[in-house]
Every structure is written in structure tokens, then in C-alpha cells.
Amino acid sequence: MPIPHPIHHNPKLDEWLSAQGADLELRQTVLAMAAATAAIAGEIRQLALEGTAGLESGIINVQGETQLKLDDVCNQLCLDLLQQVPVVRYLVSEEIDHVVTNTYAPGTHDFAVCFDPLDGSGNIATNNTVGTVFCVLDCTGAQGDAEQKVLSSTRNQLAAGYALYGPATLLVLTTGKRVAKFALNEMTRLYELVRDDIRIAPEASEFSINMAYAPLWPRPVRTYVRNCIAGKSGPRGKAFNMRWAGAMVADMHRVFIKGGHFIYPAMPKKGEPDGKLRLLYEGIPMAMLAETAGGAAMAGTQRLRDVVPTSIHQRTPVSLGARDEVMLLAGSPDLVRAA
């Protein structure tokens, strides 16, 4: 029998999880991740007070990016809390080059949690929004070594979510039935449900892409954006707005709340033939959230959640959000012909 694990106390969140039909093991896992994000929110504010939030750790991480001290602190918080959960057997972190195997008391299932502990950390130095992104995979019964078990289980997503560290600390979460938004009560340090059924409208008049790379985009992306910018007199017959926050969590939260279309394409000309964003802890969590909210999630012309990964830090192009927009970019013949 697994060692009983005190569920991280967050009654409102646990109540919602139970209402979604989540079993004890999934509740334990999500509550541990939620507790990690509440702790991260506190660390961000504390290190800002100490003036060290943007301090570099002196390490170049597995992504080839300069790691901040805060990246490492947030990563450790996630590891410490998740490794207390009996069923969390495997951990995949943006900050660690290999799969971490949790030797803690075996649970009745083998879950993997894939997470980006501090998404958009480049925004920290300027006090702009950052976040944490994660998904929970059921690896029970998977074959092979740790990495093979995780890679073969990406289509067994049990839950996905993100925390957004902005003016408020928010947690947006799904177990596949609904997408809910929780806000962190700064007094109790507990999440409280503020919205229970977020939906993404199929149409949109706002897109989110880094325009600086326009000369490097593939032709369908150039055509799609050019047609949006053409406004009312152009092929789309309506005006579009553009936003780019430099943190996927911030841009995607706007899509969940206001609608829109988030794009980070493959850019071979930029040396990113598979795009910049990572499949396991940015792509598929956001894809599960977007599809559960009635949106769409594509990697080029393929459904994002159908991409079969060959490595844990594999990158992927992403087109996420309003279904009509995502599917238009995915390659309707007239669009492709016009490219």
C-alpha cells in the first residue's frame, strides 16, 4: 500500500478536482503542483525585494539559455513538492537535461509531471509577467526506460495547467472536461475558484506572434499575418490587433480570457526547424487546455497532441486558440495557394 500522503491543503481546488472526477492520486499530484506555484509566487516577490530576482545563476541550462537564480529556485520548489507524491514517478523539467525518477514510496500508478518552472523568465528583470506550465501524464504500464515511458505517454494526459504570476497569481487548470480559473488568496495562500468554464470563441480578431521574425516565417504564416494586417479592406474583411508579451503563459492567458490566436512557427531560417517552444511542457499542456476550452492546437498541419516526441526537450511549432483561425493557418488550400 502506498504511504498515505497528506494532500496539500487547498479545499476549494480539491473540491473542484473531485467534482471533475479526479481520483485521489490525481488530486494529490495537482495539489502538489498548485502548492509549488503558490510558493513560486512568494519567491518571485521575495527575490524582487532582495533585488536578486534577475540575478543569473552562472549556469547555461540544457536549452542553451542563461539560467537565472530564480529559475533554479522555482525548479527546486517543483521537484521538492512533486517528489513527495507517491504516484509521481517521473519528472521532466525544462531546467534538467534528463528525466528525474522519483524513488519515493511507489504509488499504485506511475505518473509523469512535465513542467516549465518559470516560463518567460526573461521578463523577470523588467518585472513583467511570467508563469509555470505543467501537464500530468499517466505512464502506468508503459515500457522501456524512464525517457521511453514518458515519451510514449504524451497522449495520456490526465491534467494540464499553468500559473500566471502577474498583478494577481492565477491558476488555470483542466482535467479534460472543463477549464477553470483560480486566484491565489494572498492572505491564506490558497487558490479560490473564480471561473469554472472558460471557453475560447472560434473566431478572433487578435493574433499573437513575434513580428521581428517576419522575414523568417514560412510562407503560410507570412500570408496569414499579412492578410490579418490588411484589415477591413483586405482578404479578412476585418481589423486585427496584435499582442506579444514574451511569455507564452501571458499571451495564452489572454487567448483564454479574450480570445485570439497564438503562433510560434517553425523557423528553419532562424535555426529553429521545429520552432522554439518545447512540446512536453509548453505545447501539449496548452494544447489540452485550448482544446478543452473549445479551441484548437496545431503543430504545422498536424494536431499538436498527436505529435509523437523522440526526446523530452523536443521543440514544436505551435498555433493555438480560436479554432477558425488555427485551422485557417493550418493550411486551407486557398490560403496555402495564396502563400
- Which residues of this protein are in contact with ligand P6P, per CB under 6 A? 119-120, 122, 210, 246-248, 276-277
**How far apart, in whole angstroms, are the C-alpha atoms of residue 99 and residue 246?**
27
Q: Which is nearer to ligand P6P, 149 or 278 (CB)?
A: 278
β-bridge mates for residue 88, sequence order: 111
Q: Which is nearer to ligand P6P, 119 or 291 (CB)?
A: 119
Q: For residues 339 and 321, what is the distance between their CA atoms, to the nearest angstrom?
A: 22
Least distance to ligand P6P, CB of residue 282, Å: 7
The nearest distance, CB 73 to ligand P6P, in angstroms, is 18
Residue 40 belongs to what H/E stretch? helix 24-50
Closer to ligand P6P by CB, 24 or 55: give it: 55
Which triple of cell numbers denotes residue 84? 513527495
Distance in Å, CB of 66 to ligand P6P, minimum: 11
Looking at the Cβ atoms of 218 and 246, the one nearer to ligand P6P is 246
Residue 133 or 228 having the CB closest to ligand P6P: 133
Q: Whose Cβ is closer to ligand P6P: residue 195's or residue 243's?
A: 243
Instruction: Note whether 248 and 119 are within 8 A (CB).
Output: yes
Q: How far is the CB of 219 from ligand P6P (least distance, A)?
A: 20
User: Among 321, 255, 319, 329, which Cα is nearest to 294's?
Assistant: 321
Burial of 252 (0-12, 13-18, 19+ CB in 10 A): buried
CB of 4 to ligand P6P, least distance (A): 37
Show the cell assigned to 330: 493550418
User: In the bound complex, what is the minimum distance in angstroms from residue 103's beta carbon to ligand P6P?
Assistant: 31
Distances (CA, A) of 137 to 4, 50, 260: 21, 37, 27
Q: Rounded CA gap, 75 and 100, in Å?
A: 12
